[in-house]
Amino acid sequence: MSRNIAHEEDELSGDFSERVSILLNAFKKPSVRPAVTGNEPELWLPVGVDIKKQMEIVLQEMMVNMNKHSKATQAFIGFSVVDNYLKIAYRDNGVGVANNKKTGMGLKNTVSRYPEN
């Protein structure tokens, strides 16, 4: 399998907010439609291609977890810049993860994509 990396980078350098909207809308279902704030084109302008790639993967995993595990009926995703850092806030009214339950690979992989601060 081959990939056209130049084409992928062109897509990520365009209006990334539209790409994020399409991704999030793909996970909407009648029982839960996440409210989204701050996903504006200007937010993504200073963000590099590598970070955008990671953000796509993180957002996709968050949405999979919301649909598959949380049993949420409401969800919120907020995008903002705080002290020159891209901040993504996610909340839902789902069941959460029990303290004694081992986390799955999806959550571990998602957390590992965030840099230490």
CATH of the domain at 9: 3.30.565.10
Mean pLDDT in the chain? Answer: 82
Q: Is residue 48 part of a domain?
A: yes
Give the contacts of 109 (CB within 8 A, at least 6 positions apart): 61
* Residue 88 pLDDT class (50, 70, 90 cuts): very high
User: What tens digit of pLDDT does each residue of 60-81 get?
Assistant: 999 998 888 888 999 999 999 9
Range of the domain at 63: 5-112
pLDDT value of residue 112? 58
Q: Could you give the number of structural domains in the chain?
A: 1
Q: Is residue 87 part of a domain?
A: yes
Q: Is residue 72 part of a domain?
A: yes
* Edge-first strand listing for the sheet containing 35-37: 35-37, 75-82, 85-92
Q: Is residue 117 part of a domain?
A: no
- The number of beta carbons lying within 10 Å of the beta carbon of residue 101 is 8
User: What tens digit of pLDDT does each residue of 35-52 get?
Assistant: 999 999 999 999 999 999
Q: Is residue 89 part of a domain?
A: yes
pLDDT value of residue 10? 59
